Amino acid sequence: MNIAAIDIGTNSIHMIVVRVRPDLSFEVIDREKEMVRLGAGGLDGRSLTPAAITSALQALGKFKRVADSHKVDEIVASATSATREADNGGDFIAEVARQTGIRVRVISGTEEARLIHLAAGYGVDIGGSSAVVIDIGGGSCEVTLGTATHLTLARSFKLGSIRLTERFVRSDPLSKHDERRLLEHLKKQFGTYLDQVRARGFSRAIGTSGTILALGALALSAETGDRPEELRNRRVPAKALHKLRKRLTSLDLEERLHMQGMDPRRADIIVGGAVLFDTILERLDAEDVTLCDLALREGLVLDYIHQNSARIRKVERYPDVRRRSIV
């Protein structure tokens, strides 16, 4: 059985196409990504801009054609922070269905956190040990605690790289005044939650999402002199990420663009993400973070498999649709 999973995020839209095996594991057979910045200028209850909507619809139209080329049996799509907050989010979802036929489910921050943790637990072998999973998107940040199969704590915060950049990064390089304002905001938003996570204890911290992977790649590049080809399961010392934060906040955009390993599409929003990530690791007293390139889209696949195992086995047993319909 082939499934396409689409994550309509604040910064990027991702799709993976997977083949589900008879044992209900899966392999990725294709993937697509478009950085459309759907939430730029449209967070905190404002409207998604016409330009962002147009870009998103074009990307989703392309994704639908790719999914069709793989003859997928199901398309599972979710939208997160930007869409759930925008006053025209419902109109956008309706237009996606009208133009592409893709039915998108707008999920809550808590559900987003659960699905991300599910994916991280699958991608990093944590077994029955407890791990904290951190995901930084464009509009929100999720921090969870649990084993691979059991979630103990889960929260989503309105703290993302685009949101923080639009609200607090008003100077380039980031001024000390703006950095203090940002840190005060983070302290207020997190409250005692990170202290609760730290007090419960965990064996490792896992970082997912484009922002964290980009920061991890930059930190590793600074240590080794080369950009790592494979990031999954790479451990990055918290001290290296703190050093990277200090460097990023001291550079202007042009200087950041010339950093080895810098993704030019993230250079303008990575400072806010670096301050956020370093603050979380410091509050958790984490020594290092394990990078994981599985996130919400893989969580959607795993959740679908769990809820539809009988149907998947039927599809695998009777590949012919006509025969399957009368069994």
Six token digits for residue 124: 């990093």
Q: Residue 323 pLDDT more than 50?
A: no
Q: What is the pLDDT of residue 308?
A: 94
* DSSP H or E stretch at residue 20: strand 13-20
**Which one-letter DSSP state was computed for residue 191?**
T
Range 2-107+307-326 classified under CATH 3.30.420.40: yes
Mean pLDDT of the chain, nearest integer = 94
Phi, psi dihedrals of residue 25, rounded to the nearest 5°: -80, 175
Give the Cα separation of 164 and 248 in Å (integer): 15
Helix 210-224, helix 238-250: angle, nearest 10: 100
- 1, 127, 320 from 309: Cα distances, Å: 11, 22, 18
Q: Structural domain boundaries of the chain?
A: 2-107+307-326, 119-291
Percent of the chain with pLDDT over 70: 96
- Domain boundaries 119-291, corresponding CATH code: 3.30.420.150
Q: What is the pLDDT of residue 319?
A: 59
**Helix ranges (DSSP H) in the chain:** 50-69, 81-85, 89-100, 109-123, 161-168, 176-190, 193-200, 210-224, 238-250, 253-257, 270-284, 296-307, 309-317, 321-326
Q: What is the pLDDT of residue 325?
A: 47
One fold for both 2-107+307-326 and 119-291? yes
Q: What is the pLDDT of residue 315?
A: 79
Contacts of 6 (CB under 8 A, 6+ apart): 13, 14, 15, 60, 63, 75, 76, 77, 78, 102, 104, 297, 300
Q: What is the pLDDT of residue 203?
A: 96
Q: For residue range 156-167, what is the model confidence (pLDDT) as tens digits?
A: 999 999 999 999
Contacts of 317 (CB under 8 A, 6+ apart): none
Q: For residue range 209-230, what is the model confidence (pLDDT) as tens digits?
A: 999 999 999 999 998 777 777 8
Q: Residue 144 pLDDT more than 60?
A: yes
Q: What is the pLDDT of residue 81?
A: 95
Do 197 and 145 contact (CB within 8 A), yes or no?
yes
Among the listed ranges 120-134, 192-206, 234-248, 303-317, which one has the minimum average pLDDT value? 303-317
Beta strands 204-208 and 131-136 are parallel
Q: What is the pLDDT of residue 318?
A: 61
